[in-house]
Each structure stands twice: as structure tokens, then as C-alpha cells.
Structure 1
Amino acid sequence: MEQSMRPRQHQELFQRHTANPILTGANWPYPIHSVFNAGATTLADGSTLLLCRVEDRRGHSHLCAARSKNGVDGWKIDSEPTLLPDPVNYPEEIWGIEDPRITYVPELRKYAIAYTSYSRGGPGVSLALTEDFRSFERIGVVMPPYDKDAALLPRRFGKYWALIHRPTTLAQGAHMWISYSPDLRHWGSHKLMLEARHGAWWDADKIGLSPPPIETPEGWLVLYHGVRQTATGSFYRLGLALFDLQTPERCLRRGEEWIFCPEEP
């Protein structure tokens, strides 16, 4: 086959570690059903902390911390749940807490955890603060159902904090929004940040934030997941978008192609 007729190979941005999965339920020091959807951060000593979503056999989730010096192996997992639902004081957590995203906030000298609180009305967004992942200050629910896929940006914009999240409505679909707050408790100035595309696109049905945004000299780099409904179910892939450093709801560039997808059954 001539060179001009050979299929073009995509350049892969990510390489899966040969030891995957690096954590499974079999590693846990107490009985669980499964572990997945971890939030990740680097601690002050350079080690990696994963705040894992752990599901029990009821189908309810809590959060548990795992620590590693290199982020690959030698994991030290908390001997009991790190953060449990507290439906007595926070009734929005009655069916569990899920899918944390961690942001270190230099001004507060604390880590901010945005997580999904599963209420009777559906999933909403809650916030908590911690210095050490041992004790937590719950702020409570900040975005009502249906809303999830949230992360706090690490600094203020003027006087206001910014939170990316993904509300879902039957009429408007599932798109990424950003909201602002003077105190992390009262949120407003809601702005549409990135829309799910339509038609045959890989991100045509709904989108949502994956890890927290990465601040770069060119802007906030966002990895987001797009979901396309197929005859065999939902298919998730990852894509990239870049947002303005000072006006983070303004999209500067958006990739047309997905960059990462499942490879195994």
C-alpha cells in the first residue's frame, strides 16, 4: 500500500499503566462491594491521595482515602470509611455520597471536596473542607438535584469563588455550567459554560467535568466526558476544552475529537 493510502494513526495522549487496576475491592481492609470514581490530589509531602467512592452491597456509597508514595502501588487504605453519609444532619445524603473531586485552595490552606449527595430528590452537589482528610467541615448541599460532576476552582475571581457543575433537566439537557459565590455557601451568577453537541457527535447527548480544571499559562484546561447513547447503551469518552483564565466561562478552544475511551469489556 502506498504511503498516501495508509490509515492515519492518532497520536495517543495517555498511556494506561501496566498494573491497572491499581486498586480493587480486594485491597480493602473492610467488606465492600466495589471501588471506583476516586478524586485525586498531591499532598504536601509529595505523596498521592485518592479519595475513593466505595459502594456497599446496599448500593449506597461512602468515601475512603488511600495514600501512596508514588501514586501506583504501596497503597495505605484507611481502616474504616473516611467520610460517611450523615443523613441525620444532612438529609440530602440519605442514599450516600459519591464521586468526589478535590481542589487545594491556597487562600484557605484547605482542600475543598465537591461531591454528589444522593437525596430522595436525586443527586445534588455538596461541599466539604479538610486540612488532613481526617476531619471535615461540611458546607452542605450547594446545588440541588439533578446536579453533579462538580469541582471548585482553586482561587477567587475578583471577590467570588467559582464552581463548575452539571445540572440536568428534561427540557434543556445535560451541559456544563459555572456559578459564583462570595462565601462558598450562597451561589448565583449561573452561566452556561459548555454545551453538549447534537447529532452524530461523540459528545452529543450529555457532557460533564472529569477531573478539576488544570490552570495553564494559556487558560484553564478541562478534561470532560461526553456521553453518546447507542443501541447497546451509553458510551463514555473524554475530550478537551480550554477556558479563559480570568473569565472561566468563556471557552477559547474545544477539541472536535475524543482523546480517551474504554478499551476493555
Structure 2
Amino acid sequence: MNSSREKLAATLFKRYEHNPILTADIWPYPINSVFNPAAVKINGQVLLLNRVEELCGFSHLTCARSNDGLTGWVIDKKPTMKADQSNKEEKWGLEDPRAVWLEEQKQYAITYVSFSEGGPVVSLAITKNFHTFARLGGLLPPEDKDACLFPRRFNGRFALIHRPIVRGEAHIWLSLSPDLKHWGDHRVLLRTRHAYWDASRVGLACQPIELPEGWLMLYHGVRTTTSSQLYRIGVALLDLEEPWHVLRRSEEWVLGPKERYERIGDVNDVTFVSGAVVMEEKNQLYAYYGAADDKVAVAMADMDLLREYIMACPEVTE
């Protein structure tokens, strides 16, 4: 037990006082819910690419833009990216995007879940402007979710964090590719931990964030209780040049269901971070999350305290 580290973990992320920031009742067309957004900076604005659940139960993706990342959201008047019915893997919709800027390609890479009777598949799309998209299709076989690319190559290869289900187990994996088409060197990156808050399932939260100490990886952990599944957020630190090596991992969660908008919704007790941006002028990380699977909220963490916390977390020796 480390009481000072635990105290820091409990106060690291501060919820925006006017949460939730996006809800179905402000949407420009009829929907059931909005949640689990990707987040990037573009043209001086914060852009959220949100998962939007339609009244039939299928999902698509729609952009919302804000000058400060908190207020004044301008939402696309119609779906930004809908399922392409010529792609069988997208038959039942698009879910849970993550996005990252690929400096080499000068484009954004969007990884999202394509859903059909074949199971969830991680798919990839490329865009420069979030108006037009080039879809590159599925990357790996189902069942797979919670994926994002790193913003640069490692020894000439792209790296993908993702979460396949293998023998009913849900661990975080990392795979490598020379061309974004052919994937190999698959390895488990982060496992569930028996009896911990992340005992049942783990998955990537937002895109990896580069720090001087390594890659900051926020991840969600699930613990199954008698009444629900609790989705909370933890952190890990990956090696800067060999991100398949985990350097540190939090024992505590740093964000979990607490407020009413996180406790009650379409799926109770969920804080599901899926996008983040670094606000350099404030030295803060804005972490955007789906709250109870039917609204979008944001929590902020001071970057210096975030680095202090992750460096106080136990080293991983496995």
C-alpha cells in the first residue's frame, strides 16, 4: 500500500463541472444516445468523433467540434460516417472509434469497431479533414475491439494496440505491421489481474500519449459484481521505442463511476475513456469518456501530476 500514491490517484482527474457535455437531447437529429468518442485537435479546435446509437439500435459516427474542448459544441447536421452496406463486416454499424495523427502520412487514422453477425472487427479509415474517409477495411479477425495505432512507426513497423477475445479471456494485445495490411508479432501487452478492479476484462481507453518517460496508455478495466459490471480507468507506461514492453502499471483506478450521470444510463456504472487531447496552454490532459453508455463527459488531469503518478506506480517485471 502506498497512501500518497493512492491519494494522488483519487484526485488526479477532475470532472468538468458542467458534465455531461454531449447528450441525445441536444443532437440535431433523432438518436437514442451518444457516447465513446475519439478525440483529436484539428484546425485549432477539439474534434470529437462520437459513437451515436440510432433508434433501431445500430450505431454510426458523428463529429462535434469545440474551440475550447468544453463548450459551444457544433455537431454535424447528419451522420459523419455511416456503415457501408457493401462491406459485410459493417452490416450492423460502426462503434467506439479512436483516432491518431500519423505524422508520416500527414493524415488521421481512425480505428473503429465494425459490427455484424460475424462478430466485432477492428477496421481502419484514413482522413485529412473528417469530412471524407478512405476505408481500408478490417485489420484482424473477430472478436476484436478497443484498438488504436501509435502515431509513428517502430523500426519501420506500425504498432496497433487492440483487445481480442481468446478462450473467453479479454487481455490487451499489441501487433506490428509494415504496411497497415499484414499484421504479425502478436503478443499480450496487458493482462487482467485476478481479484483486482480490472479482473474481468481490460481494453485500451484513448490513443497512446507520448511522454518523455514513455507512452502513457490509459485503459479500462472491468470488475463483474452481483449487480453490474464496473468500468473504471487505469494507467500504464510503455517503453518509448519498444512499446510492447510495459514499464509501469497502476494498482488503483484513477477514474470510475461516481456521479449520477455515470451511474445511471443505458448501461449503468460505466466510465469509458476513448479519446484524449493534451491542452498545452493549460498543461492538462482532457480525457473524453462515455458515461453510462448514453452521454459524453470529460475529465481533466494536470500533466505534471499525471507523470508524477505514473512514475510512482509499480514497475512491471513480468
Which amino acid in the other structure matches residue 246 of structure 1? Answer: E
Describe the SS at the equivalent of 2:13.
coil
In structure 2, C-alpha distance between the alignment counterparts of 1:128 and 1:187, rounded to whole Å = 16
Contiguous gaps of at least 5 residues in structure 2: 264-318
Q: Structure 1, residues 103-150: CA drift from partner, whole Å, max 9, x if none?
A: 001110100000000021211100000000000000000022110000
Match of 1:148 in 2: 145
Q: Which one of 225, 229, 239 corresponds to residue 224 of structure 2? A: 229
**In the alignment, which residue of structure 2 is the partner of 1:67?**
65
- CA distance in structure 1 between the aligned counterparts of 2:219 and 2:72, rounded to whole angstroms: 29
Is contact 2:6-2:252 (8 Å) kept? no
- Where does the alignment leave 5 or more consecutive residues of structure 1 unmatched? 1-7
What SS class does the counterpart of residue 115 from structure 2 fall into?
strand
Q: Report what 2:36 is aligned to.
A: 37
**1:247 matched to which residue of 2?**
242
Q: CA deviation at 1:93?
A: 0.3
* Matched residue type, 1:195: R
Following the alignment from structure 2 to structure 1, what is the Cα–Cα distance between the partners of residues 31 and 96? Answer: 16
CA distance in 2, matches of 1:93, 1:258: 33
* Equivalent-residue separation in structure 1 for 2:199 and 2:37 (angstroms): 25
Instruction: Name the structure 1 match of 2:47.
Output: 49
- Distance in 2 between the 1:126 and 1:9 partners? 37
Q: Is the 8 Å Cα contact of residues 175 and 186 (structure 2) preserved in structure 1?
A: yes
Moved over 2 A (4+): 8-11
Pick the aligned partner of 1:58 from 56, 59, 62.
Answer: 56
1:183 to 176, 179, 199: 179
Structure 2: distance between partners of 1:245 and 1:225: 21
Structure 1 residue 170: Cα displacement = 2.9
1-side partners of 2:136 and 2:184: how far apart?
A: 16
1:1-265 to 2 correspondences below 5 Å: 10-11=7-8, 12-43=11-42, 45-88=43-86, 90-171=87-168, 173-198=169-194, 200-263=195-258, 264=260, 265=263
Structure 2: distance between partners of 1:205 and 1:9? 22
- Structure 1 position 62, deviation (Å): 0.2
Q: Secondary structure at the match of 1:119?
A: coil
Residues in 2 aligned to 1:67 and 1:9: alpha-carbon distance in whole angstroms:
35
Letter in structure 2 aligned against 1:175: H
- Give SS of 1:26's match: helix
Q: CA deviation at 1:30?
A: 1.1
Looking at structure 2, the residues matched to 190 and 9 of structure 1 have their Cα atoms a distance apart, in angstroms, of: 33
CA distance in 1, matches of 2:231, 2:112: 20
Structure index of larger Rg:
1
Secondary structure at the aligned position of 1:10 is classed as helix
Once the two structures are TM-superposed, the CA of residue 9 in structure 1 deviates from its matched residue by: 7.7
RCO comparison, higher one (Cα < 8 Å, 6+): 2
CA distance in 2 between counterparts of 1:94 and 1:18 reads 38
Tell me how far 1:247 sits from its aligned partner. 0.8
| Post-superposition CA distance 1:167-215 (Å, at most 9, x none) | 01235x00000111111111111111111111x2111111000001111
Length, aligned pairs only: 254
Matches of 2:97 and 2:162, distance apart in 1: 12
Tell me, in whole angstroms, the C-alpha distance in 2 between the residues paired with 1:54 and 1:40.
Answer: 15
Deviation of residue 221 (structure 1)? 0.6
Cα offsets for 1:50-104 (capped at 9, x unmatched): 000000111100000001101111111111100000021x110001000000100
Amino acid at match of 2:27: W
Specify the code of the residue in structure 2 equivalent to 1:75.
Answer: W
Distance 2:252 2:75 in 1: 37
Pick the structure with more helix per residue.
Answer: 2
What TM-score results when the alignment is normalised by the length of structure 1?
Answer: 0.93
